[in-house]
Amino acid sequence: MLTPTEQVLFAFAAVASAFWAWRGFSSVFQAIGRGSGPSLKLNIRRVARAAVDWILMKAMWKTRTLTSLVHLLIAWGFVFYLAVNVLDVVWGYTGVHLLGGGSVHHAYLLGADLFSGLVLVGMVALLIRRFLSAAKGRLSFRSDIRYIEAFKVWLLRLTISRDSLIVGCFILLHVGFRLAGESAGVAIDGAPDPYQPLASVVAPLWPASLLDIGRHLCWWGALGLILLFVPYFPYTKHLHFIMAGFNFWTKPERTSPGALDPIDFDDDSREVFGAQRLEDLPRTSIVDAFACIMCNRCQDVCPAYATGKDLSPAALEVSKRYYLNEHLKPFASGAPSGLALLDFAITESALWACTACGACTDICPVGNEPMLDILEIRRGQVLMEDRFPGELQSAWRGMERNGNPWNLAAADRMAWAEGLSIPTVDEDPEADLLWWVGCGPSYDQRAQKTARSLARLLERAQVRFAVLGGHERCTGDAARRSGNEYLFDMLARANIDTLNAVRPKRILTTCPHCLHTLGKEYGALGGHYEVIHHTELLAALVAEGRLSGSPQDGPAVTFHDPCYLARQNGIVDPPRQALGALALPVVEMPRSGKRSFCCGAGGAQMWKEEAAPTVGDARYREAAATGAEVIATGCPFCLRMLTDAAASAKQPMVVKDVAELLADRMAASGDP
């Protein structure tokens, strides 16, 4: 128990610590408030879910299992130690254990003792990994990655390492002092405590003459370190532990991880479209900077980074965080940021290298969304600066004038159906399905084969469907993800007017990007539709026995999951179920399902020239390594990218859509 003088000193120190911590945390939240858009909503309905996500860090388990376990043990120990520290302060002032001496107190003693050991072991392991093992390379970036204003690579790494060392030593000393103090208490009692096994092991090491003063000093060591550390906490990268929970709590509920918020172009008070400076980003994006663990998991899965581009989603978040650290007080007080985001957070070439695949947002253990930052910055470049890769101009012009990014005649949209009996909504307005064919199957010669195969399958299964024909226009996905939100808005509103007039029961799409845009993004503009992908329909028709073929021997197949099918819309099993009708061996690639690797066409990359090595080539090599002879997919853009990659391979694989493979099997079986 503390003396009266010590009690006064500790109370004074606690008030001072709380004051300086409050100043730091208030600056953090004022900085967050500088972001654009609506205020963050503390949605009470999400509290329980956010708490589970925060405590379990479910996304962290997708990779680095052992390291994730160690982090989780430390995090749980941190949470438990909040209660431990409160009870230790009460004991220091009163000499009373609030939990009494019953079973609850015994459980608490055992938990505190075991967590102390786990946290100490876990922290030592992480410090060894960070400073002594080869795994420390996970925190590095290539030299061509932009970091932050005035920061050299070595200085950034030094700053991150400094934070890690300070926090690591704090945890070791805080928990170590507390365990040592408890061991002195066990020694004073004169017998091992079965509820404090670790403290009982350490207790015999204490000299009898130092027990009382040692226990006293250990109390001050453990609690005094807390008072010293708390004001420093808002400025360290380890603020992520608290901000992760805040991130989960306040993150907007999106229809999919990649769904973008629309821009109200009729709002005359709006001066900035997209993001040019830090304060132009949505508030959630600034929370992301404070929540970032700096674990580089997003960089590990980024297809642009993996193929040598100078894009690192991790470096983007790290740069935002360190810029905020360096300018926190003036930025929080309302001063404009001195630099544009392209001057310190990301290069122009990196900005346009993003495929918008969503792998970075999917893998982040704290819910960060660097992809959405990139798309906001693209909006700012296009809408405010009129700066963009020149290759996009033709695609945009085609979408605006002819309703397709190929810039081919709108009158030719139905040319793919020549020789087929394809009903239009004008001919059958009561059709069960409205087939949104999409620009790829309408104009790309390779994807037209998919459309013709699907048409034969729908006819064979006696599905009553119709198409829009000349009324169909591009959904605007490529325009939106290349920053031309105005063009997207124009296309979307025109399509919504068309669809609302038709009032389809369900919409069938051949393209995952159309699926996503129609089903996940048009709703924000008043277009609410039930949209399904053609592989979902094919799987259902196979299950119902409406599509079948005689089993035949054939080559092994590997399925490439399109990003906007699996990751963005969660459609993983239906394509494989449809392939099951082929009775062929299916070999999975190492990265499949929601963890699929991009083909390289998304984010409007289809309309740009990509520097070698290309993302499509990297994915093709992964498919070839499975030993399969056929790559199946369910996206016209993936089909084109992988077909192009196969064309340059020494032993090219066959690349076909699921619909093509099923139609081929029906034909080989002698079915019509």
Q: CA of 59: how far to CAs of 43, 53, 62, 321, 467, in Å?
A: 21, 8, 6, 21, 40
pLDDT, mean over the chain: 90
Q: Which of 228-242, 326-340, 625-639 has the highest mean pLDDT?
A: 625-639
Q: Could you give the percent of the chain with pLDDT greater than 70?
A: 95
**Angle ∠(647,636,348) on CA atoms, nearest 5:** 85
DSSP state letters, 484-509: -HHHHHHHHHHHHHHHHHH--S-EEE
Record the tokens describing residue 185, joined without a space: 């208490």
472 and 436 Cβ atoms separated by less than 8 Å:
yes
Mean pLDDT of 183-199: 91
Rounded CA-CA distance 456/417 in Å is: 11
Q: Which of 18-22, 125-129, 334-338, 378-382 has the lowest mean pLDDT?
A: 125-129
Record the tokens describing residue 169, joined without a space: 């030593």
**Angle ∠(20,26,27) on CA atoms, nearest 5:** 95
511 and 635 Cβ atoms separated by less than 8 Å:
yes
End-to-end CA gap in the chain? 89
Q: What is the pLDDT of residue 191?
A: 87
Q: What is the pLDDT of residue 368?
A: 95
Rounded CA-CA distance 548/461 in Å is: 9
Q: Which of 89-93, 263-267, 386-390, 545-549 has the highest mean pLDDT?
A: 386-390
348-378: b (≥16 Cβ within 10 Å) or e: eebbbbbbbbbbbbbbbbbbbbbbbbbbbbb
Q: What is the pLDDT of residue 135?
A: 53
- Who has greater pLDDT, 244 or 550? 244
Mean pLDDT of 565-573: 97
3-state secondary structure 37-52: CCCCCCCHHHHHHHHH
Rounded CA-CA distance 8/16 in Å is: 12
Q: What is the pLDDT of residue 549?
A: 66
Q: What is the pLDDT of residue 150?
A: 43
Mean pLDDT of 65-71: 76
Q: What is the pLDDT of residue 427?
A: 95
How would CATH label the architecture of 392-539? 3-Layer(aba) Sandwich (3.40)
Given a cut of 60, whether residue 632 has pLDDT beyond it is yes
Record the tokens describing residue 655, joined without a space: 């690349």
Reported as a pLDDT band with limits 50, 70 and 90, residue 158 is low
Q: What is the pLDDT of residue 137?
A: 43
Rounded CA-CA distance 353/374 in Å is: 10
Mean pLDDT of 146-152: 52
Given a cut of 70, whether residue 660 has pLDDT beyond it is yes
Rounded CA-CA distance 18/230 in Å is: 8
Rounded CA-CA distance 28/622 in Å is: 43
pLDDT in tens, 100-137: 778 888 999 998 999 888 888 888 887 887 777 655 44
Given a cut of 50, whether residue 149 has pLDDT beyond it is no
Rounded CA-CA distance 623/166 in Å is: 45
- Who has greater pLDDT, 268 or 41? 268
Q: Evaluate the CA torsion angle 300, 304, 309, 315 in order and state its sign.
A: negative
Given a cut of 70, whether residue 551 has pLDDT beyond it is no
| pTM for this predicted structure | 0.90
pLDDT in tens, 409-419: 999 999 999 99
pLDDT in tens, 362-376: 999 999 999 999 999
Given a cut of 90, whether residue 44 has pLDDT beyond it is no
Q: Evaluate the CA torsion angle 156, 160, 161, 166 in order and state its sign.
A: positive
Given a cut of 70, whether residue 398 has pLDDT beyond it is yes
Q: Which residue has the tokens 């819309």?
A: 569
Q: What is the pLDDT of residue 304?
A: 97
Reported as a pLDDT band with limits 50, 70 and 90, residue 153 is low
Q: CA of 293: how far to CAs of 129, 244, 370, in Å?
A: 16, 9, 13
Q: CA of 330: how far to CAs of 281, 454, 533, 584, in Å?
A: 17, 59, 50, 63
Which of 356, 388, 399, 392 lies closest to 374, judged by CA? 356
CATH number of 255-385: 1.10.1060
Return the CA Rg of the chain: 29
Task: For 549-668, give the CATH class.
Answer: alpha beta
Q: What is the pLDDT of residue 438?
A: 97
- Who has greater pLDDT, 371 or 98? 371
User: Residue 657 belongs to what H/E stretch?
Assistant: strand 654-657
What's CA 519's distance to the chain center, in Å?
A: 20
- Who has greater pLDDT, 285 or 237? 285
Q: What is the pLDDT of residue 562?
A: 98
Given a cut of 80, whether residue 384 has pLDDT beyond it is yes
pLDDT in tens, 616-630: 999 999 999 999 999
Q: What is the pLDDT of residue 407?
A: 95
Mean pLDDT of 270-275: 92
pLDDT in tens, 581-603: 888 889 999 999 999 999 999 99
Reported as a pLDDT band with limits 50, 70 and 90, residue 97 is confident
Helices 211-229 + 153-189 axis angle, to 10? 150
Reported as a pLDDT band with limits 50, 70 and 90, residue 635 is very high
